[in-house]
């Protein structure tokens, strides 16, 4: 996603630390990790308070956005206050978050973390709840990245059953996160009860309660309304769900709004043809804050940096597929599939869940 980070010069780091902590700190770099230019950063900051350490790490992160806070060694003073001895900042092997397992390792891996503003204890990934979307999208993203676009299409069309081992594997990968109360803010009840529009709030609250929120780019609209002071690209940002099986690259899942013509007239046809043209789509992009499906709309048209980034990722994706549950019969996509995920999160046996979705699909796809 981004090139390998270049090492931070000791002089730059010391300047940052003095500015942020107002006290001298010893700074060292560990062995290269994941590339010739990637260095782990070890901060030896004996006695520093968690709040001051947070300021320090954030200052470093602004200079090196690919650095990821890793392990913290904390002590408790005689006065009962928590202080930090050492903080390790570890770059990703390729300077971004390249693959699914790397994402899991860096965000969900074990570690002794002290400051809740830096890393939750343990770190948590907030799950997108709500009947409308979120949980099914997790499984769709995983399916797209484990079976590939062609098999994804067959799955949507029910050309192989929900009891297929590949489908079960996708649900199990979802369950590794969603069913682990240490990974999800609020645990199972959080998954099932948090309102859709509030799904990302835990990431941007002060202090934050979670690292990440998996959701479509339109969640940005809710974030801007709830936290209007956040700066796009600085305080709020996103990345695509990383690849899982390298042979399929990094495909994108998308959804969209529909324009429907109820009366087939020449005037209506002219309007619809204009609506999908590059000229009209440029106006929609500029004034309505939406991504365009017209590939002739250049990224420079977007006024917002995150929308621009979304457009670039969409055009660079190895493949693009529409939201699976939206393509399935409503009795499945908005019914049995969604209900199955709720049952699974509530603790029902996965084989039983998949069998129920399959039985419903046999009837739904006949209609």
Mean pLDDT of 3-26: 31
In CATH, the architecture of 125-252+322-364 is 3-Layer(aba) Sandwich (3.40)
Highest mean pLDDT out of 6-15, 115-124, 290-299, 326-335: 326-335
Highest mean pLDDT out of 64-68, 169-173, 232-236, 276-280: 169-173
Task: Please name every residue paired with 320 in a beta bridge, in sequence order, or none if there are none.
Answer: 252
Q: Say whether pLDDT at 109 is over 70.
A: no
Mean pLDDT rounded to a whole number for the chain: 73
Q: Tell me the whole-structure pTM to 2 decimals.
A: 0.67
Percentage of the chain beyond pLDDT 70 is 63
The Cα–Cα gap between 331 and 361 comes to 8
Where in the chain does DSSP place strands (E)?
26-32, 39-48, 67-76, 82-91, 125-126, 212-213, 252-254, 320-322
18-71 pLDDT per residue, tens: 323 333 333 333 333 333 333 445 555 555 555 555 556 555 555 555 555 554
**Is 156 or 12 the better-scoring residue by pLDDT?**
156
CATH 3.40.190.10, the chain: domain bounds? 125-252+322-364
**Is 231 or 80 the better-scoring residue by pLDDT?**
231
SS3 102: helix
Supply the angle between the helices 337-345 and 165-178 in degrees, to the nearest 10.
Answer: 50
Query: What element of type H or E holds 149?
Result: helix 148-156
Task: Please name every residue paired with 213 in a beta bridge, in sequence order, or none if there are none.
Answer: 126
CATH 3.30.70, the chain: domain bounds? 10-97
Q: How confident is the model at residue 241 (pLDDT cuts 50, 70, 90)?
A: confident
Q: How confident is the model at residue 259 (pLDDT cuts 50, 70, 90)?
A: confident
Residue 247 · residue 257 · CB < 8 Å: no
Work out whether strand 67-76 and strand 320-322 pair parallel, antiparallel, or are unpaired: unpaired
Q: What is the pLDDT of residue 295?
A: 84
Residue 95 · residue 2 · CB < 8 Å: yes
Q: What is the pLDDT of residue 365?
A: 94
Mean pLDDT of 223-251: 90
Mean pLDDT of 168-176: 94
164: closest CA among 144, 147, 141, 149?
Answer: 147
219: closest CA among 251, 255, 252?
Answer: 255
The Cα–Cα gap between 5 and 64 comes to 7
**Is 293 or 11 the better-scoring residue by pLDDT?**
293
Q: Say whether pLDDT at 88 is over 70.
A: no
Q: What is the pLDDT of residue 178?
A: 85
The Cα–Cα gap between 288 and 266 comes to 27
Which numeric CATH code is attached to 10-97?
A: 3.30.70
Query: Which sign does the torsion angle of CA 260, 264, 268, 273 carry?
Result: positive
Query: Which sign does the torsion angle of CA 290, 294, 295, 297 carry?
Result: negative
Mean pLDDT of 286-303: 87
Q: Say whether pLDDT at 187 is over 60.
A: yes
Number of H helices, E strands in the chain: 16, 8
Q: Say whether pLDDT at 139 is over 90.
A: yes
Q: What is the pLDDT of residue 125?
A: 53
Q: What is the pLDDT of residue 227?
A: 93
Mean pLDDT of 130-158: 86
Q: How confident is the model at residue 135 (pLDDT cuts 50, 70, 90)?
A: confident
**Is 96 or 260 the better-scoring residue by pLDDT?**
260
Mean pLDDT of 227-241: 89
Q: What is the pLDDT of residue 210?
A: 80
């Amino acid at each position: 996603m981004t090139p390998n980070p270049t090492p931070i010069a000791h002089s730059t780091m010391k300047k940052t630390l003095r500015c942020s902590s107002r006290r001298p700190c010893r700074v060292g770099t560990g062995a290269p990790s994941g590339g010739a230019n990637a260095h782990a950063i070890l901060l030896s900051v004996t006695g520093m308070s968690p709040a001051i350490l947070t300021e320090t790490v954030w200052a470093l992160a602004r200079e090196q956005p690919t650095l990821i806070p890793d392990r913290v060694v904390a002590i408790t003073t005689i006065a009962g206050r928590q202080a930090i001895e050492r903080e390790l900042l570890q770059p990703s092997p390729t300077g971004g978050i390249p693959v699914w397992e790397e994402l899991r390792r860096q965000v969900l891996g074990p570690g002794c973390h002290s400051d809740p503003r830096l890393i939750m204890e343990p770190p948590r990934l907030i799950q997108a709840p709500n009947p409308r979307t979120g949980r099914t999208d997790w499984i769709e993203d995983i399916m797209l990245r484990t079976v590939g676009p062609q098999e994804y299409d067959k799955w949507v069309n029910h050309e192989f059953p929900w009891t297929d081992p590949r489908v079960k594997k996708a649900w199990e990968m979802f369950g590794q996160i969603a069913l682990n109360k240490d990974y999800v803010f609020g645990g199972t009840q959080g998954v099932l009860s948090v309102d859709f529009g509030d799904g990302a709030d835990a990431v941007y609250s002060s202090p934050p309660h979670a690292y990440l929120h998996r959701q479509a780019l339109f969640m940005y609209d809710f974030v801007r309304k709830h936290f209007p002071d956040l700066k796009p690209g600085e305080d709020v940002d996103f990345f695509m769900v990383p690849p899982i099986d390298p042979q399929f690259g990094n495909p994108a899942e998308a959804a969209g709004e529909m324009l429907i013509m109820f009366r087939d007239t020449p005037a209506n046809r002219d309007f619809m043809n204009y609506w999908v043209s590059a000229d009209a789509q440029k106006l929609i992009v500029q004034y309505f804050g939406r991504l365009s499906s017209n590939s002739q709309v250049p990224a420079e048209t977007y006024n917002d940096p995150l929308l621009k980034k979304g457009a670039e990722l969409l055009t660079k994706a190895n493949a693009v597929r529409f939201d699976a549950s939206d393509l399935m019969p409503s009795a499945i996509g908005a019914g049995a599939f969604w209900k199955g995920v709720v049952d699974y999160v509530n603790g029902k046996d996965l084989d039983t869940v998949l069998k129920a979705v399959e039985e419903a699909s046999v009837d739904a796809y006949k209609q």
